[in-house]
């Protein structure tokens, strides 16, 4: 095909234009969608460079809180779209303390794989995602752990018809088919314990816990294992008849302390998160719930509660919070018992006698004094 | 068509004959028929058994319908979702009416369809396990009976007047009425959440808050359909172009203006955004109008090159932070430069120039409005962003990915088939790179890496990054599909176009593309369906699409712990309906375009 000069020029230009369109679409597709109308000159400062996370959250007016979004009783999306659970409530508590508004939370649903990266890169302010506090995680670059809000531990669940009772021991499952979900520490824990006890178990793993439970119901598994809170939840909803399934041993065979995680080396922010958690413990200790806050601030529950509820002194203001920060937490979210009743009681978890009772009731929940 | 129908004698006899000839023609045939029928029954029974097993709690789906449709969109603002859905459906009805959509539906064929659906419904009702909800079984029997009677009536009418057809409007009206009657009178049960706690009223019909908006929407749909059918030839042309414009930009407005409800800072809008948009629209329009004269082609090229250089400089400057500038100005500048560059190809008479100028102005006004709306903070209080989720997210992503990747893919295909080695190589490199990388990688790249490459001070939301990354990925595949079509256009067509003195642009637009695209329709629709299904991958980067809600949100609610199966079966049905609709309409399109060929 012969083309004369002008036609060739035309074609060159035409194709150049076509490619300009392509490039424009490549660049423009995203720019058009989200190009900020601020000029480059009036650029937003990176807020975390000065003043820390606390200042950044107060500036932003909303707390970015990392949760699981798919962990029953801890953080799950209810049918009306709201995020519920004990982890979600602790996000609200921190928001109430920092911003005075428990609803000023942006929940970020994270998978197990991406949760710690989100803390380290600062894309979330605090992580409340049923994460176990371990030595390696704590010493890992970029993150610190706060006070434990829920003491969990691995247990086993089996059928009562197979002769298991609540007083059964791990050594009783000798020769059984034990199922759990793949790639978790539960898998390592049970096989380590089995070799220590010298029992022989057949370990079968599934992709997720729904499949584990289905296999248990179908009879493929004799025993299933995961954290106690998970087993109780499954038992309360999926048990075919009352008392058909039993959970044992009474004392879990692993320690899984779950609590908040935040960025390393920001003591001010760490203090805010830690003391928000402690405030819910102390209020529980004194029996101060959402309805008793004003009475507590007036002195009906003693001087420590007066200080904590902002009645006198400046314990909260030196932290960079308002004097009534923790009063807001208790009013809007509640004390530990109220948070428990709202989230963990419905799935059948009992607080009395567990590690999650207060220190003066035989449990492990202990807060330093507020003075 | 008519001759074929007339050839059939009395329907009763032909039925009998058909059955004998096709199902029981020989011993082997009879055995096959029975074996196949038994297989169908067994498979159907197994499927229904899986779907309606006792342990499956279908109220999990009913209670979570809100999540599945729009995830955590605030209840107080639900009117926005109804408005968006209503506008979409009404415009769809208007389009069907305006383009005179009226397939030849013979009464005879309808009777056959009625009979077969009635048989399938009755079979399902018979094979239902005892644990299936009673209302469902009763509804199936009802549907089966009504359709059997309708089929009998239709075949009775058809036996008298063989080639009788029914208009699409009548069918639409009767289906809408039937659907609304089912919605209002069949007690499917009313499930939902009030104040955080779920409730269930199994004996009720569905909630009033569901029934009423649907009734309003469907009434409007019927009204619009008939109104647009009744339009005269002159008005219908205007309505058609308005509808075309709607389908291009309307959904974006529905998402970013209606659903997202930006809190416009009116002072800034009047002081900055409106003057900018007006300036580009009128200034650019005037420039285009002046330069589009055929005698000013060389001047237009000169201006175009100058503008392009300036536009590219702006982007480079933005990347290195040499000087500040509104991103909108950069985008508009680049688009104007491109338009001026290709202007000589469209140069023509005064009315044509005016049309181009007006089109540019309208385009810029729409674009600026959208960009401003997207960048304004939303008034919605949403506890877990993004603001789109569920079916809305799936639909929005697939719609826009198909819409954006189409022009991009066509351009890439044209570049790859061009004689110029540079463009051919660039296009090939693009296509091979993006086809060689998994979609998940691209989605991660765009959400994690893209922010690092952007000019300072510019942010991209996850949602926008997904739109962009997905479109770029999809365009690479689409380009190859289109290239296949382009290669089927014979050399003689090019030569004929050259002999007529058409320019390269005219040849491509008027001769090559229409023929090439028609050939690639099956592949393009296939890719559209794949795009729709692959939207579930955005769950990996944090989006709450249908799959993620069914697979991990619903089974983790305390009252529906472990209820995965009903949700998954439900979304499988939703995906199937969408994909099947797409494939059916593509078949219709193929038939129509093929008819034009003969």
Nearest to B556 among A7, A36, A72 (CB): A72
The verdict on a CB contact (< 8 Å) between B464 and A30 is yes
- In which residue are the tokens 């007083």 written? A167
Q: How confident is the model over A231-265, as pLDDT tens digits? A: 988 888 888 888 899 999 988 999 999 999 999 98
Q: Which residues pair with B193 in a beta bridge?
A: B198
Q: How confident is the model over A280-292, as pLDDT tens digits? A: 999 999 999 999 9
Non-local CB neighbours of B184 within 8 Å, separated by 6+ positions = B205, B211, B215
Region B447-469: mean pLDDT is 71
For the four alpha carbons of B228, B233, B238 and B241, in that order, the dihedral sign comes to: positive
Q: How confident is the model over B369-380, as pLDDT tens digits? A: 888 887 777 777
pLDDT-based confidence at residue A28 (cuts at 50, 70, 90): very low
Look over chain A and give the mean of its residue pLDDT values, rounded to a whole number.
Answer: 84
Amino acid A35: pLDDT: 37
Q: How confident is the model over B113-167, as pLDDT tens digits? A: 899 999 999 999 999 888 888 888 888 999 899 999 988 988 888 888 777 888 8
If you count residue pairs, one on A and one on B, with CB atoms under 8 Å apart, how many are there? Answer: 219
Nearest to B456 among A26, A37, A43 (CB): A43
- In which residue are the tokens 């494939």 written? B583
Residue B546's φ and ψ, nearest 5 degrees, are -55, -45
pLDDT value at B534 more than 80: yes
B51 vs B192 pLDDT, higher one: B51
Region A33-46: mean pLDDT is 38
Q: Strands A63-67 and A105-109: what pairing?
A: parallel
Amino acid B125: pLDDT: 92
Is residue A54 packed enough to be buried (19+ CB in 10 Å), middle (13-18) or exposed (0-12)? buried
The verdict on a CB contact (< 8 Å) between B67 and A37 is no
Amino acid A68: pLDDT: 87
Look over chain B and give the mean of its residue pLDDT values, rounded to a whole number.
Answer: 86
Question: A175 with A253: CB under 8 angstroms?
Answer: no
Integer Cα distance of B192 and A184 in angstroms: 35
pLDDT value at B597 more than 70: no
Q: State the nearest Cα–Cα gap between A7 and chain B, in angstroms.
A: 8
Q: Pick the residue of B64, B334, B415, B558 with the most A CBs within 10 A to test the interface with A by mutation.
A: B558
Domains of chain A, with CATH numbers?
53-151+258-290+327-361 (3.40.190.10), 154-253 (3.40.190.10)
Nearest to A32 among B318, B371, B472 (CB): B371
pLDDT value at A11 more than 50: no
Amino acid A67: pLDDT: 92
pLDDT value at B454 more than 70: no
| Number of helices and strands in chain A (H, E) | 13, 15
Amino acid B38: pLDDT: 94
Amino acid B577: pLDDT: 94
Rounded to a whole number of angstroms, the distance between the first and last alpha carbons of chain B is 15
Lowest mean pLDDT among A127-131, A333-337, B206-210, B452-456: B452-456
Residue in A with minimal Cα distance to B63: A79
Amino acid A50: pLDDT: 55
Tokens of B143: 């549907």
Q: How confident is the model over A48-103, as pLDDT tens digits? A: 345 789 999 999 899 999 998 888 889 998 888 889 999 999 999 999 999 999 99
Tokens of A331: 């009013």
Q: Which residues pair with B165 in a beta bridge?
A: B106
Integer Cα distance of A151 and A132 in angstroms: 9
Lowest mean pLDDT among A289-298, B74-83, B521-530: B74-83
Q: Which of A121-125, A245-249, A276-280 has the highest mean pLDDT?
A: A276-280
pLDDT value at B457 more than 70: no
Region B449-472: mean pLDDT is 73
Amino acid B42: pLDDT: 94
Amino acid A34: pLDDT: 37
Region B25-37: mean pLDDT is 90
Integer Cα distance of B219 and B222 in angstroms: 5
Is residue B35 packed enough to be buried (19+ CB in 10 Å), middle (13-18) or exposed (0-12)? exposed
Q: Pick the residue of A5, A11, A29, A342 with the most B CBs within 10 A to test the interface with B by mutation.
A: A29
B538 closest CA partner among B423, B325, B415, B396 = B396
Q: Percent of chain B scored above 70 by pLDDT?
A: 94
Q: Which residues pair with A261 in a beta bridge?
A: A127, A145
Q: Pick the residue of A7, A17, A24 with the most B CBs within 10 A to test the interface with B by mutation.
A: A17
Non-local CB neighbours of A83 within 8 Å, separated by 6+ positions = A67, A69, A75, A76, A77, A91, A105, A107, B383, B384
H or E element at residue B382: none
A368 closest CA partner among A315, A332, A329, A299 = A315
pLDDT value at B6 more than 70: no
Q: How confident is the model over B213-229, as pLDDT tens digits? A: 999 999 999 999 999 98
Integer Cα distance of B412 and B399 in angstroms: 20
pLDDT value at B7 more than 70: no
The verdict on a CB contact (< 8 Å) between B381 and A16 is no
Domains of chain B, with CATH numbers?
2-234 (no CATH), 265-377 (no CATH), 382-598 (1.10.3720.10)
Q: How confident is the model over B41-57, as pLDDT tens digits? A: 999 999 999 888 888 88
Residue in A with minimal Cα distance to B447: A30
Tokens of B354: 């005016």
B14 vs B228 pLDDT, higher one: B228
Amino acid A39: pLDDT: 38
Amino acid A26: pLDDT: 37
Question: B467 with B393: CB under 8 angstroms?
Answer: no
Contacts of B498 in chain A (CB under 8 A): 1
Amino acid B585: pLDDT: 86
Q: Which residues pair with A105 in a beta bridge?
A: A63
B12 closest CA partner among B157, B163, B155, B165 = B155
Contacts of A16 in chain B (CB under 8 A): 341
Amino acid A23: pLDDT: 38
Integer Cα distance of B562 and A80 in angstroms: 19
* Number of neighbouring beta carbons within 10 Å of residue B29: 14
Contacts of B561 in chain A (CB under 8 A): 72, 233-234, 237-238
Lowest mean pLDDT among A202-211, B6-15, B131-140: B6-15
Lowest mean pLDDT among A4-13, A305-314, B72-81, B147-156: A4-13
pLDDT value at A339 more than 60: yes
Amino acid A338: pLDDT: 96
**B 237-276 → A contacts, CB under 8 A:** 272-273
Amino acid A283: pLDDT: 95
Nearest to A79 among B63, B419, B542 (CB): B63
Q: Pick the residue of A4, A31, A226, A233 with the most B CBs within 10 A to test the interface with B by mutation.
A: A31
pLDDT value at B568 more than 90: yes
């Amino acid at each position: 095909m012969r083309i004369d000069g002008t036609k060739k020029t035309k074609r060159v230009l035409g194709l150049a234009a076509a490619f300009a369109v392509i490039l424009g679409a490549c660049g423009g597709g995203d720019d058009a969608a989200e190009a900020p109308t601020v000029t480059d000159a009036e650029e937003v400062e990176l807020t975390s460079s000065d003043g820390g996370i606390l200042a950044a959250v107060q500036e932003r007016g909303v707390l970015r809180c990392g949760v699981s979004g798919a962990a029953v009783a801890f953080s799950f999306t209810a049918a009306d779209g709201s995020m519920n659970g004990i982890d979600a409530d602790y996000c609200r508590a921190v928001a109430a303390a920092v911003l005075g508004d428990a609803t000023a939370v942006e929940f970020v649903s994270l998978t197990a794989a991406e949760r710690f990266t989100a803390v380290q890169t600062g894309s979330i302010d605090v992580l409340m995602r049923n994460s176990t506090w371990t030595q390696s995680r704590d010493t890992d670059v970029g993150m610190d752990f706060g006070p434990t809000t829920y003491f969990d531990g691995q247990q086993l669940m089996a059928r009562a018809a197979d002769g298991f009772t609540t007083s059964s021991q791990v050594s009783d499952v000798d020769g059984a088919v034990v199922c759990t979900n793949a790639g978790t520490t539960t898998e390592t824990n049970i096989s380590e314990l089995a070799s220590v006890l010298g029992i022989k178990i057949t370990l079968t793993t599934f992709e997720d816990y729904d499949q584990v439970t289905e296999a248990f119901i179908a009879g493929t598994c004799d025993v299933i294992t995961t954290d106690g809170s998970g087993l109780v939840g499954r038992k309360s909803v999926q048990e075919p008849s009352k008392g058909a399934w039993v959970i044992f041993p009474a004392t879990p065979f692993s320690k899984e302390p779950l609590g908040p995680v935040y960025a390393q080396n920001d003591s001010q922010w760490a203090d805010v998160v830690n003391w928000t958690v402690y405030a819910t413990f102390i209020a529980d200790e004194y029996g101060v719930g959402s309805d008793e806050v004003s009475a507590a601030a007036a002195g009906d529950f003693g001087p420590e509660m007066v200080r904590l509820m902002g009645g006198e002194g400046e314990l909260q203001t030196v932290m960079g919070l308002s004097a009534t920060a923790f009063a807001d937490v208790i009013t809007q979210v509640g004390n530990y018992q109220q948070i428990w009743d709202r989230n963990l009681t419905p799935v059948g978890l009992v607080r009395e006698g567990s590690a999650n009772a207060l220190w003066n009731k035989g449990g492990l929940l202990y807060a330093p004094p507020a003075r | 068509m008519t001759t074929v129908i007339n050839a059939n004698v009395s329907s009763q006899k032909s039925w009998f004959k058909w059955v004998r000839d096709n199902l029981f023609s020989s011993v082997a045939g009879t055995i096959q028929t029975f074996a196949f029928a038994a297989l169908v029954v067994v498979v159907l029974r197994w499927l229904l058994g899986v779907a309606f097993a006792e342990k499956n709690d279908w109220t999990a789906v009913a209670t979570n319908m809100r999540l599945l449709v729009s995830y955590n969109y605030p209840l107080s603002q639900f009117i926005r979702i109804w408005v968006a859905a209503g506008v979409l459906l009404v415009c769809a009805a208007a389009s069907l009416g305006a383009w005179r959509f009226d397939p030849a539906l013979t009464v005879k064929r309808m009777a056959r369809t009625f009979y077969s659906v009635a048989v399938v419904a009755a079979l399902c009702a018979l094979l239902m396990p005892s644990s299936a909800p009673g209302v469902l079984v009763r509804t199936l029997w009802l549907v089966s009976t009504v359709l059997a009677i309708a089929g009998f009536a239709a075949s009775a009418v058809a036996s008298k007047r063989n080639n009788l057809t029914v208009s699409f409007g009548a069918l639409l009206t009767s289906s809408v009425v039937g659907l609304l009657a089912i919605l209002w009178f069949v007690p499917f049960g009313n499930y939902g959440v009030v104040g955080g706690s779920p409730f269930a009223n199994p004996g009720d019909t569905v909630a009033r808050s569901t029934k009423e908006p649907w009734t309003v929407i469907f009434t409007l749909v019927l009204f619009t359909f008939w109104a647009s059918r009744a339009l005269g030839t002159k008005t219908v042309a205007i309505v058609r172009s308005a509808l075309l414009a709607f389908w291009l930009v309307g959904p974006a407005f529905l998402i970013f203006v209606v659903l997202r409800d930006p809190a416009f800072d009116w002072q800034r809008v009047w002081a900055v955004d409106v003057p900018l948009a007006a300036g580009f629209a009128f200034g650019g329009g005037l420039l285009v109008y002046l330069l589009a004269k055929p005698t000013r082609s060389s001047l237009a090229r000169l201006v175009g090159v100058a503008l392009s250089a300036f536009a590219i400089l702006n982007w480079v400057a933005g990347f290195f932070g040499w000087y500040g500038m509104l991103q909108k100005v950069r985008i508009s500048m680049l688009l104007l430069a491109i338009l001026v560059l290709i202007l000589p190809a469209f140069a023509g008479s005064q009315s044509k120039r005016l049309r181009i100028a007006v089109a540019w102005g309208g385009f810029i006004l729409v674009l600026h409005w959208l960009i401003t709306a997207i960048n304004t903070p939303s008034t919605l209080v949403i506890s877990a962003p993004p603001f789109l989720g569920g079916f809305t997210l799936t639909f929005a992503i697939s719609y826009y990915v198909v819409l954006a990747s189409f022009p991009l893919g066509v351009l890439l295909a044209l570049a790859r088939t061009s004689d110029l080695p540079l463009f051919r190589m660039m296009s090939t490199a693009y296509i091979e790179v993006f086809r060689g990388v998994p979609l998940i990688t691209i989605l991660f790249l765009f959400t994690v890496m893209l922010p690092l490459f952007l000019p300072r001070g510019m942010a991209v939301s996850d949602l926008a990054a997904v739109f962009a990354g997905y479109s770029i990925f999809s365009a690479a595949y689409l380009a190859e599909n289109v290239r296949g079509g382009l290669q089927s256009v014979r050399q003689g067509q090019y030569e004929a176009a050259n002999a007529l003195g058409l320019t390269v642009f005219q040849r491509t637009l008027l001769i090559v593309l229409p023929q090439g695209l028609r050939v690639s329709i099956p592949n393009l629709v296939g890719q559209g369906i794949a795009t729709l299904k692959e939207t579930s991958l955005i769950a990996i980067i944090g989006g709450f699409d249908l799959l993620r809600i069914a697979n991990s949100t619903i089974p983790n609610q305390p009252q529906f712990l472990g209820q995965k199966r009903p949700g998954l079966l439900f979304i499988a049905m939703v995906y199937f309906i969408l994909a099947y609709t797409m494939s059916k309409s593509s078949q219709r399109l193929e038939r129509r375009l093929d008819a034009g060929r003969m």
